[in-house]
Structure 1
Amino acid sequence: MHVLLAGATGAVGRQLLPLLLAAGHQVTAVTRTAAGAATLRAQGAGAVRLDVLDRAAVERAVAAAAPDAVVHQLTALAEYDLAANARIRREGTRNLVDAAHGAGVPRIVAQSIAWAYRGGDAPADETVPLDDTTEEPRATTVGALLALEEAAAELPEHVLLRYGMLYGPGTWYAKGGLMADRLHRGELSAGAAVTSFLHVEDAARAALAALAWPSGAVNVVDDEPAPAHEWLPALAAALGAPAPARSTGRAAWERGADNTLARTARGWRPTRPSWRTGFAELG
């Protein structure tokens, strides 16, 4: 299969590209920089310099590549810029989907997230609606996800990967990353908010597998949703940071996600079934 990989130099893309190539796929990888293009070509991919917000350029690039599928792993989170990330999800996805339509590309695999569901007491499965009633600042993120997922679903074959909170190389949850800095500054407290995690390598494995999955949204998370008072001290220990203060309470949407569909109907299982063992690799 010929795959156009958007976000090839991001946290997931860096893990995914070698998997795609090893599986025998032809890859046209998208990057914004000349240095990124050189790195991608050295790995054996074709490379295109492209700003996904430039609609005309996206149309030209997708038409020229004529792929069988688009894999959309674009974010703008390195600087914790949630507004820029929302714009990528809204406008960038719109441009990719319209370009795919124009080029006759039937399939998209797109990155979404597993903590945008409406509130509840148990981890959310895929039947729970996304939380379109939430308030700012969360509304910016959820609104952009709704736009992303609705746009992707316009293609006849579309898989929406609702990733858990990513940890590992290149993510916020890594040695020297955003969360390590916040822990060292004492900015975080360990309350009852539940999170579902996912190692970035498992995210890439799911994106590879999703090229053959049926259409729809899938929670791609590990097996152990957990409250912050359990996982945050473990993260602090792994990153050599002071233990966070204990607190109480959670928002209704801080519920985690259920991976039963991925495990049973899609045959995907995380190689790190729990953050407990995955965090131990971060030190």
Structure 2
Amino acid sequence: MHVFLAGATGVLGRHIVPRLLAEGHRVTALTRGRRPVPDGAAAVRGDVIDARGLALAVREAAPDVVMHQLTDLSGGDPAANAELRRLGTRNLVDAALAAGVRRIVAQSIAWMYEPGDAPAREETPLDVHAEGPRRVSVDGVVALEHTVCELPEWVVLRYGLLYGPGTFYEAGGSMAGQARQGALVADRDVSSFVETGDAATAAVQALDWPTGAVNICDDEPAPAADWLPAFCRAVGAPPPPRSDAPGNPAARGADNDHARKHLGWVPAHPSWRDGFAQVISRAAGDAVSGGHADRAVSAQRVSRARRQSCRGGAA
């Protein structure tokens, strides 16, 4: 199968491309030229905001499937990310339709459901009555999902909070920084997580899934009172402050029963409990070890240079 992947150089795209290639698929990767595309993919320069150029790129590639893994999170501006979801998705769907592509797999998120007491299932309505900053993000998600549905075949992947290298939830990520500052509170708000590799595996499997939205998150939605202390330990932060205030009904987590039982997706990290320790802590340890190794090599070079200087610079 030939996949046109928008977002190939992003956090998930870098995991998705090797998995697609390993399954025997052909990949055309859309890039703006800032980062190299993963090995094995054919790169095409373009920008989803350029509707005419994008239409030409998709038409020339003539893929079987378009995959949408686009976000705009680098600046931390929810409005910019929502605009990309709205306009970028509009242009990508128009390009796919013009090129005769019948199928799209698109990235969405699993924490925009309406308030409730239990983890949300796929049939739970989105929170279209949200107010304030949340409304901006909800509107972006609603626009994305409604637009994607214009293709004859579509799968919307509603990801939980991503953790692992390159995400906010890694040892060097923004959430780790806030944890070290004591700015995150272990309260009753519920979240669902998914490790990046598990999310990428779902994207590849979704090429064959039936049309519909799917929650892609681990097996254990949990309040911050449970998961935040584990995250703090994983990133080397002090224990977080705690709150017993009632949780936000909109922070309810998501249920992965449909993906697991009906679509055969089985996460390698079924719980953040093990995932944080295995993925985040290990990456942090590797970084420390690498730093120690770099410092050791630098010290050896300095020592060698000093010896050579004492010998008159002889080789």
- Regarding TM over 0.5, the answer is yes
Match of 2:119 among 123, 143, 147: 123
How far the C-alpha of 1:188 sits from its partner, in A, is 1.0
Match of 1:279 among 272, 276, 280: 276
Match of 1:23 in 2: 23
Q: Within the alignment, does 1:239 sit opposite 2:253 as a pair?
A: no
Partners in 1 of 2:74 and 2:175 — Cα distance? 12
How far the C-alpha of 1:83 sits from its partner, in A, is 1.2
Normalised by the length of structure 2, the TM-score is: 0.87
- Amino acid in structure 2 at the alignment position of 1:270: P
Normalised by the length of structure 1, the TM-score is: 0.97
Offset from partner CA, 1:217-237 (integer Å, 9 cap, x none)? 000110000000100010000
- Amino acid in structure 1 at the alignment position of 2:5: L
Partners in 2 of 1:21 and 1:246 — Cα distance? 45
How far the C-alpha of 1:7 sits from its partner, in A, is 0.4
Partners in 2 of 1:79 and 1:180 — Cα distance? 17
Partners in 1 of 2:210 and 2:228 — Cα distance? 35
How far the C-alpha of 1:249 sits from its partner, in A, is 2.5
- Within a 5 Å distance, the mapping from 1:150-189 to structure 2 comes to 150-189=146-185
- Structure with the greater relative contact order (CA < 8 A, sep ≥ 6): 1 or 2? 1
Match of 1:268 among 265, 268, 277: 265
Match of 2:250 in 1: 253
Partners in 2 of 1:79 and 1:174 — Cα distance? 17
| Unmatched 5+ stretches in structure 2 | 282-315
Offset from partner CA, 1:53-97 (integer Å, 9 cap, x none)? 111111111111110001100001123121111111000000000
Q: Within the alignment, does 1:230 sit opposite 2:222 as a pair?
A: no
- Within a 5 Å distance, the mapping from 1:56-205 to structure 2 comes to 56-205=52-201
Q: Which runs of 4+ in 1 moved over 4 A?
A: none
Partners in 2 of 1:170 and 1:12 — Cα distance? 9
| Unmatched 5+ stretches in structure 1 | none
- Amino acid in structure 1 at the alignment position of 2:65: A
Partners in 2 of 1:62 and 1:81 — Cα distance? 28
Please tell me whether Structure 1 or Structure 2 has the larger radius of gyration of its CA atoms: 2
The count of corresponding residues between Structure 1 and Structure 2 is 279
Offset from partner CA, 1:145-177 (integer Å, 9 cap, x none)? 000000000000100000000000110000100
How far the C-alpha of 1:104 sits from its partner, in A, is 0.2
Alpha-carbon RMSD = 0.9
How far the C-alpha of 1:49 sits from its partner, in A, is 1.6
Partners in 1 of 2:166 and 2:45 — Cα distance? 21
Partners in 1 of 2:201 and 2:155 — Cα distance? 14
- For residue 128 of structure 1, give the secondary structure of its aligned residue in structure 2: coil
Partners in 1 of 2:226 and 2:70 — Cα distance? 31
- Amino acid in structure 2 at the alignment position of 1:9: T
- Amino acid in structure 1 at the alignment position of 2:59: A
Partners in 1 of 2:101 and 2:78 — Cα distance? 29
How far the C-alpha of 1:50 sits from its partner, in A, is 1.3
- For residue 70 of structure 1, give the secondary structure of its aligned residue in structure 2: strand
- Amino acid in structure 1 at the alignment position of 2:105: V
Partners in 1 of 2:248 and 2:129 — Cα distance? 14
- Amino acid in structure 2 at the alignment position of 1:158: W
Offset from partner CA, 1:112-134 (integer Å, 9 cap, x none)? 01100001100010111001000
